[in-house]
Copies of this chain bind each other. A is one copy, B any other.
C-alpha cells in the first residue's frame, strides 16, 4: 500500500506557486466571505488565509452575521467583483439554511471564482476544451492522482456522493481521464457490490468509517474526501475504515493529510492562475 500524501504534494504545489508569484512579480489577492460562526468553517477559512499569506497571496476575510440574507451576501459579492485589487473570491460553504447557495455562487464573477463553483465554470467542465476555473476539491484530487502517475484510462471509477461542489466536477474530470465513471448515492441499491467492482473508489459523504472491507476491490485506489471527528476516539477520520482496509488497497489517501490540503493548494493554484491572466 502506498499513501497518497496530500500534505507532501500540496506543499510542493505551494512552493512552486510561491516561486511563480515572485518570479512573475504577481500581486494575487484572495478574499473570502464567511457567513456566521460555525467553528469548523471559521478555522478552515483562517487556515486558508494563513496558507495564502505564506506564499505571497494577500486577502481579506469578510465576515457576515449568521442571519444574513441571500441579498446581503450577493450585494457584498457584487462590490468585491468590481474591486480590481481582488483577483480571487470565494464564499465558504456551507451557508446558513435561509440562504440560497446557488444564487450566491452564481453571483461570483466567473473570472474571479477561485473555488470554481459558479455554474458557468461547472458547465465548462462538461466541455472537452475547458477554459474555465476547475472546482478546487476535484482539481486537488486529480493533481494528487497525477503526481503519483496513476493511469485511469479504461479504469472503473466509482464516486459515492453527488454534491455539485465535489462529486459532479470530479465526475467530469475522471471522464476526461478516460475512466468509466459511476456515481452512487443514498438511493443506490447494492452499494457494496458496485463499489467492490471499482478500480478507483472515491467517497465524499461524510460518514465516519462507513466504508469497510466489503466495499473494496483488491488493489483498488482509495480517495477519501470525508472529514469528521470519530465520536469514539475524538480523532479526525474519513469515510473509509482506514485501518481495516489499508492492506487490501494499492493506494489510499490518509485523513487528515489527504484531500484536505490538496483542496487548499488548488484554491490557491486557481487564484494564481487568475492573477496571471
- Contact (Cβ within 8 A) B154 A132: no
Q: Among A44-52, A116-124, A222-230, which stretch is in contact with chain B?
A: A116-124
Which residues between 107 and 132 of chain A lie within 8 Å of chain B, taking CB atoms? 118-129, 131-132
Whether a CB of chain B sits under 8 angstroms from the CB of A86 is: no
- Do the beta carbons of B123 and A102 come within 8 Å of each other? no
| Contacts A119-B120, A119-B123, A121-B123 given; does A184 touch B188 at CB 8 Å | no
A interface residue numbers (CB < 8 A to B): 100, 102, 118-129, 131-132, 153-156, 162, 164, 168-169, 171-172, 175, 178-185, 187-189, 194
Q: Which of these, B131, B153, B180, B187, contacts A154 with CB under 8 Å?
A: B187
Pair A187/B153 contact, Cβ less than 8 Å: yes
Q: Nearest chain-B residue to A193 (Cβ)?
A: B197
Q: Which residues of B contact A189 (CB under 8 A)?
A: 154-156, 180
A123 cross-chain contacts in B, Cβ below 8 A: 118-126
Cross-interface CB contact of A188 among B122, B172, B180, cutoff 8 Å: B180
New A-B pairs, 14, CB < 8 Å, besides A119-B120, A155-B189, A180-B182: A102-B127, A102-B129, A119-B127, A120-B120, A122-B122, A122-B126, A126-B168, A126-B169, A153-B187, A154-B188, A168-B172, A171-B171, A180-B184, A181-B182
Taking CB atoms, residues of chain B closer than 8 Å to A100 are 129
Contact between chains at A126 and B164 (CB < 8 Å): yes
Chain B residues lying within 8 Å of A132, measured Cβ to Cβ, are 119
Shortest beta-carbon distance from A118 to chain B in Å: 7
Contact call B194/A185, Cβ cutoff below 8 A? no
A128 touches B180 (CB 8 A): no
CA distance A231 to B61 in the complex (A): 64
Alpha-carbon distance A131/B168, docked complex (angstroms):
18
For A124, the chain B residues whose CB sits under 8 A away are 102, 119, 123
- Please measure, in the bound complex, the distance between the C-alpha atom of A184 and the C-alpha atom of B188, giving whole angstroms: 18
Q: Within the complex, what minimum Cβ distance (angstroms) separates A145 from chain B?
A: 16
4 closest A-B pairs by CB: A123-B123, A119-B123, A122-B123, A178-B187
The docked-state distance in angstroms from the alpha carbon of A89 to that of B121 is 22
Determine whether the beta carbon of B187 is less than 8 Å from that of A180.
Answer: yes
Q: Which residues of B lie under 8 Å from residue A187 when comparing CB positions?
A: 153-154, 178-180
Q: In the docked arrangement, what's the CA distance between A155 and B188, Å? A: 7
Cα–Cα distance between A123 and B183 once the two chains are bound (Å): 17
B175 touches A183 (CB 8 A): yes
Q: Could you write out 24 A-B pairs with CB less than 8 Å apart?
A: A100-B129, A102-B127, A102-B131, A119-B126, A120-B120, A120-B123, A121-B123, A122-B123, A123-B124, A126-B168, A153-B187, A154-B189, A168-B172, A171-B171, A171-B183, A175-B183, A175-B185, A178-B185, A180-B182, A180-B184, A180-B194, A181-B182, A181-B183, A182-B183
